[in-house]
Structure 1
């Protein structure tokens, strides 16, 4: 029996309503869904290691899954320990930082006074008034910070568990999906799952490769201009660069503050800004098109919208998850005939010229 062929308006309505429902469910359940999605990405990243241990070395599934998760957690902990050690060393220069910050603030006050004719007293009064508003909201801010830290600790515990379970029950989930689809569509399902695994794995590996290059370039640039703790600051910049748009801004502020361990000279601040700008130009114009975009094939317009929607729905985690799950949607759309135009819309194909194709026969809905 042939499937019921709906008119275009009905199909469009069903697709849009489905997307709205998925977005709404994600928004109201983001605290539960986000760790699951993060674990799903990490599980895909670890699949080659899991397959090597389970298939090649004949390790039991449970043992192979545990080893994969332990290796992953060990790498994360090693990076965090290194950063913590460097930050502790930087804390020894707190008095120097404080002194240089005060000197830097005085220079800024003088610059504003000379350029805009605003007295230092008026500037300090404005800052004092702003500080009062900040203090009045301090209780709620502290409460929000405590909740955020609690959520972070919970996610740090539960994401490795979810990752372990995804690896352990990989075949179980695949069998479940095969039971949901008709047998004649099993070949399409197999192709979708295979392409998702390849695309997401390549994307995450490319993202890590981009992080390493950005860290090295930033560290090299900061070392050349004489910034202390250049390795730590380069690593932090590379990690924060994984967060679209706002990550590099946060890294720039941290680098500027850390540079005050040495001197408060304006030339050093200008050098840091130049280093960050040059690295971002290299990243955005060479690394991202060459390493990232070639793996996911999502155009910039859809990427920006996805990142904004993801950030609105789930904050930084949503921004990080946006691109890989847009790539998953595109893979699914490209392989389902009725959804193929949406996959084309998300892609980065650039036709040289579009020519309308007309026909004399009556168009069918």
Structure 2
């Protein structure tokens, strides 16, 4: 075989090309994505909110996203196993509150995962009393604690349900040091368990939500199941964004009477009120390609710019709240630091 100069040069060029490292293409979300959530309920707010976001993201990117309600422990495990982007997670403030309260299975999400964009707020976190209760307001409850009365509060320990209880104890301590000992927890499970604790006269106050409990506030006072709101923890600026018609038979103006500043639960002696917005956000495997996070941020920015998802969220009494990953991480860490201080104050650890 005769090798010409041109043939040799071509062979050398080809060999050199093969020897060069191939530039890696930016990774993107795969065609089929599993979106695990920190709840086992397919009827709760986490599933509802995640489904709205998943549907919008799947349509925008032309991929398939399946929401899988596996609960917090299993969701975190699934996320740990998959760095390819085929498994993503949506949860809410419970992800870091569980860690602050020392709940088993809750690692620090800011250290062990990548916190992604926020997508919505549920402004409905609330506290209620029986409609026949002598307590007409949070002021009545805190005054009762000051006067030595034992106030029993039904909560599901270790997260969103408990943070308001911690705030009550903190407020009692701010108003009258020592009276926080009279605010006591009745640890239960689901919302139905908390409701039942009230109906069985095992609790004077329960943690609930606008969505789950508003129906009971419409019952006549002589009905055993009748309740009354005394506190909604959402920031007033958040609740103001809710639909004017509110929820059920209670309009937005009526709901805002139970939120700050009309209802005061002191955070400190400077007069600042405790508030809490239940926010939903993405969590990613820490080794997942940053290009996928950028793709999700970009897609969500375009989806929220379009405006259709906001209508779907508000129809389900969610407040649209998109922040891209970088902003979301800082915002949520600031929230975590505030609530960590509240928890440490009432635990005597500060």
Q: Same fold (TM over 0.5)?
A: no
State TM-score, norm by structure 1: 0.26
Q: TM-score, normalised by structure 2?
A: 0.27
More strand by share: 2
